[in-house]
């Protein structure tokens, strides 16, 4: 019976570790590149708005 308990605990621990690894991997592969792309887009948008405002200026 002792070996069964140790096996169950080992199985639970390895399942939790696998789930945590899958979550971290998903974050690095899917979530982070999208966030980086959005940040780059926002930075580019701010730069272009600043350039447009400066080059065209106010008409009045």
State pLDDT tens for residues 41-52.
Answer: 999 988 888 887
pTM over 0.95: no
What is the C-alpha to C-alpha distance for residues 53 and 44, in angstroms, rounded to an integer?
Answer: 14
13-40: pLDDT as tens digits: 999 999 999 999 999 999 888 888 999 9
CA 38-32-40 angle, to 5 degrees, is: 25
Residue 58 backbone dihedrals phi, psi, to 5 degrees = -95, 140
Q: Whole-angstrom Cα distance, residue 25 to residue 31?
A: 10
């Amino acid at each position: 019976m002792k070996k069964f308990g140790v096996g169950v605990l080992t199985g639970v621990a390895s399942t939790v570790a696998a789930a945590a690894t899958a979550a971290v991997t998903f974050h690095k592969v899917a979530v982070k590149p999208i966030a980086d792309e959005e940040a780059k887009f926002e930075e580019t948008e701010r730069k272009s708005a600043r350039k447009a405002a400066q080059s065209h200026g106010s008409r009045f």
